[in-house]
A and B are shown apart, each in its own frame.
Chain A
Amino acid sequence: MNKVVSNRLLANNIHAIEVEAPLIARSRKPGNFVILRVGDKGERIPLTIADADVEKGTITLVVQKVGASSAKIVSLQPGDMVTDLVGPLGQNTHISKVGTVLALAGGLGAAPLLPIVKGFKEAGNRVLTVLAARNKDLLILREELGAYSDELLIMTDDGSEGKKGVVTVGGEEFINREKVDLAIAIGPAIMMKFAAQMTKKYDIPTICSLNTIMVDGTGMCGACRVTVGGETKFTCVDGPEFDGHAIDFDELLNRLGAYKEEECKLPVK
C-alpha cells in the first residue's frame, strides 16, 4: 500500500498524483514506468513516472480520466492508499550528449517526456520542445518542460493557444531552421506514427515511447507485444522506448483496441 500525498489538477481531467514510494523514487530513471492497482478488483495499470523526489520519497504520475479505472485513480485524495504499486519497470532512456534534441509531446505524452527532456538538458544537449494538444485546456506541464528546454513551442489543433496546427508542423519548423540530431516523440500512437514518418523524411533518428496494453509489466504475459524491425518485442521489458522508424504502428494501433468492450463478449454468430 502506498499513500497518496497530493492530487493536483493539471488540465481538464488530467491530474498529477504524487505517491509515497521511496525505493522507486530512488531507483527510477527517465523512461521508467510503474504498474498500479486501486482496489481489490482493480486492473493493473501502467503509468509513466513523470517525476520523482528522492528526499521526500515520492513519485509523480500523470493520469487522464478516460475509463472506469483511471477515474478511480484520479479520484484518490491525499491520505488515500494505492492498493498495489510496483516498479520501476522498463528500460531506461539512453541519455547522452548528442547535440540538438527535438522533443515532441502530444497531449498526455508531455508527462513521460518531462524526465527525458530534463535528462537530455542536464547531459548538455540543446533541447527544442514542441508541446501540442487538441486545445488549450489539454496543455500540461508547460512550465516544467519550458524550464528544461532551450525553446518551447506550443501548438494546438484549434489554435486556442500558441500556434495552430499539429505537432509535426511545429517539429518541421525547428528541423528546417537548424540541424537536429535526435528526435523523441511521445503521445498517442497515431501522433507518434506521423511524427516518426515526418522525421524519417529528414533521416533523424527518432525514439518513441509506447503505451501498449499490459498486465504484469515484467515480461510474463506478452500482452504488450509489438513488432519492431520485423521482430516481436515485449514493450514492458524491451521498451517502452523503441526506434520510431522501425515500429509497426498499424499493428500497435490495432492491438490497442484489442479489449474494447464489444471484443470481450462472446461473438454473435
Chain B
Amino acid sequence: MSKEKYTEMRNQPWRDELRKAVPMKERTAGERVKMNEVDPAERIKSQLLEVNLGLTPEQAQAEAKRCMDCANHPCINGCPVGIDIPTFVKQIEKGEFGKAANTLREYSSLPAVCGRVCPQEKQCEAQCTYHKMKKEPVAIGYLERFAADYAIKNPGECPKPEKKPANGIKIAAIGAGPTSLAFAGDMAKLGYDVTVFEALHEIGGVLKYGIPEFRLPNSIVDSELKAMEELGVKFVTNFLVGRTATLEQLSEEHGFKAFYVGSGAGLPRFMNIPGENLNGVMSSNEYLTRVNLMGAGSEDSETPVLRGNTVMVVGGGNTAMDSVRTAKRLGAERAIIVYRRSREEMPARLEEVHHAEQEGIEFMTLHNPIEYIGTEKGRVRAVRLQKMELGEPDASGRRKPVPIKDAIVELPIDLAVVAVGVSPNPLLLRTLKGVELSKWGTIVVNEETNQSSDPDIFAGGDIVRGGATVILAMGDGRKAAASMDEYLRKKYNLD
C-alpha cells in the first residue's frame, strides 16, 4: 500500500477520533489477550475439537484497543501480502466487525484460514512496536480470525464481491490448494470462466488432507469454497492433469486459454536409513491423509490407520506437530517429537509447539534417527537415535547439527512418522513441455508476474517455492491472477 493511501486511511475522521479517545497510557497498560482454549485433557480425546475457541467481541475490542495505530505501521511490513492491519484492527475497536472483515478481504482470499495457520510470531506480530517496549505484541492473528469468523456467521454484513461481466475466456487452475483457490476467486471476479482441477476427491489441498481438524476445521475451508462457487468457479475433482487429460488436450479440445499450476509440493521425503520400510514407519503425509482426508480413526471410516503406544514423529515443522498431536489423539501414551536441531530452530508455529506441550507431547531435540529395528513380524519396535550438538551456522543461518561421536541411544517405539519435508510432485511436471524447472524440480517463474517460461502457464504456491506457507501460496495466486489478466487483455484485445 502506498504511503499516501495509508495516511489517507489513517487520517479519516472516525479513526482520528478513535485514536484520541483513549490515552496512550491506557492502551499500553493492558495485557495481551489469552486465547480461549479447550482444556488439554478434554481436547486430546477428540480428533475433531478445535483447540482455539476464538475471542469474544469484548476480548477482541479490548485487544484492538491495545494497538497504538502507529503512523509507520511496522506490522504491515511484516505481512507477506501487506494486509492493512491497523485499519482492520481499529475497525474492530470501533465495533465495526463486518467492515474489519471487508478490509481483510481486500488483501486476503482466505482470512479465516490465515488467521488460524499463519506464523504470526514471525510475520506481522514480530514487527509490532510493543516489542520495543518489552511487551507482548498485539494479537493480530487472533483478531484476524475474529473478524473473518464474524463474516462467516454474519454474511449479510459483508457485501458480495463485485464481479465483472463474463468475457467468455476459459482458464484452468491445477490443484485445489490455497494458491489455486485464491487465483480462481480473483479470476472469476475479473469475468473469466474458471475451472479448478483436483486429483483428490476433495477440494482444499493441504488445508483438507494435511492440517488437522483440531487446528483448522473443514467447515471453515468449505465456507470459503462456497463463496468461490457463488462467484462461478467450477471445481472438478478426481482429475489428474497430465494423466486424465494433458494440458494440450485441455487447451486444444476444451478451449482453455491459460493455466495456473498450483499443484503443491506433495512428495514426501524419507531419510533413507535402514529399516525405514518396516511396517509402522510412514510419512506424515500418509498418516495425516489417512486421518484427515479419509477419516481413519472414526468408527465408520473404512480406511485403517496404525496406532501405537509410543509414537515417534521425526521433524520440527508444522507437519511434525500436527502428526504428533494426532498420534496423541489416537491413543498414544507417549507421543514424542525427535528433532535434530534445538528448540529455537524448530520451524513450527510457536502456538503449535505450545499446544503440543500442554497436551503432554515429549520433545527429544538434538536427536536424529539412524536406524529402525523391527520385530520378527516386520513391525518397527525401536529406533536408534544419534545424539547431536549444534555447530557452525549453515546456509540457512541456523546452527548446523553435528553428531556427537558414539552417543547413540535406542528408543522403543511401535510407530514412527517421518515429517522431514516434501518435494514437488513430478507427475504433472513431466508432461509440461516448455516450462523451465529449477534443480529442485520447482517451476521457475518471473517473480513479478508468476509467469513461467511458457507464457500461457503461470504458477505459484509450493510448486514454485517448495514447502512454504498458506499466506505465501494465497498471495502468489492473487498476484498471478492480476498479471494473467493483464497478459490476456493484451493478447486477446479485451479492452
Contact = CB atoms under 8 A, between A and B. Distances in A.
Do the two shown chains form a genuine complex with each other? yes
Interface of A: 23-24, 27, 37, 39, 41-44, 68-69, 83-89, 215-216, 218-223, 225-227, 232, 237, 251, 254-255, 257-259, 261, 263-267, 269
Nearest to B210: A220
Main secondary structure of the interface of B (DSSP, over half): loop
Given A42-B302, A232-B272, 9 more contacts: A23-B244, A27-B246, A41-B302, A84-B237, A218-B199, A218-B425, A220-B266, A266-B309, A266-B331
Contact of B277 (A42, A215, A216, A225): A225
Interface residues of B, number: 47
A232 B282 CA distance: 13
25 contacts: A27-B243, A27-B244, A39-B302, A69-B302, A86-B199, A86-B244, A215-B286, A218-B425, A219-B426, A220-B267, A220-B285, A220-B425, A221-B268, A221-B282, A222-B285, A223-B282, A223-B286, A226-B277, A232-B270, A237-B427, A254-B378, A257-B279, A263-B279, A263-B306, A264-B306
Contact of B289 (A69, A86, A216, A267): A216
Nearest to B307: A266
Interface of B: 199-201, 237-240, 243-246, 266-268, 270, 272, 276-280, 282-283, 285-286, 289-290, 294-295, 300-309, 331, 377-379, 414, 425-427
Given A86-B238, A264-B307, A267-B414, A222 B282 contact: yes
Nearest to B290: A215
Contacts of B246: 27
Contact of A219 (B266, B270, B306): B266
Contacts of A259: 304, 306
Contacts of B308: 266-267
Given A220-B289, A222-B286, A255 B240 contact: no
Which of B200, B243, B425 has the largest count of A CB atoms less than 10 A from its CB? Answer: B243
A88 B243 contact: yes
Contacts of B278: 254
A43 B304 CA distance: 9
A89 B240 contact: yes
A253 to B, nearest CB: 9
B245 A219 contact: no
Contact of B379 (A37, A216, A218, A263): A263
A166 B280 CA distance: 33
B248 to A, nearest CB: 12
Contacts of A263: 279-280, 306, 379
B154 to A, nearest CB: 30
Contacts of B305: 264
Contacts of A43: 294, 302-303
Top 9 nearest A-B pairs (CB, nearest first) are A254-B378, A221-B286, A258-B279, A86-B238, A84-B201, A220-B266, A222-B283, A43-B302, A259-B304
A236 to B, nearest CB: 10
B220 to A, nearest CB: 20
B277 A219 contact: no
Contact of B427 (A84, A218, A226): A218
B125 to A, nearest CB: 32
A87 B302 contact: no
Given A24-B244, A41-B295, A267-B414, A221 B283 contact: yes
Nearest to A258: B279
Contacts of B282: 221-223
Given A41-B295, A255-B277, A255-B279, A218 B266 contact: yes
A265 B307 contact: yes
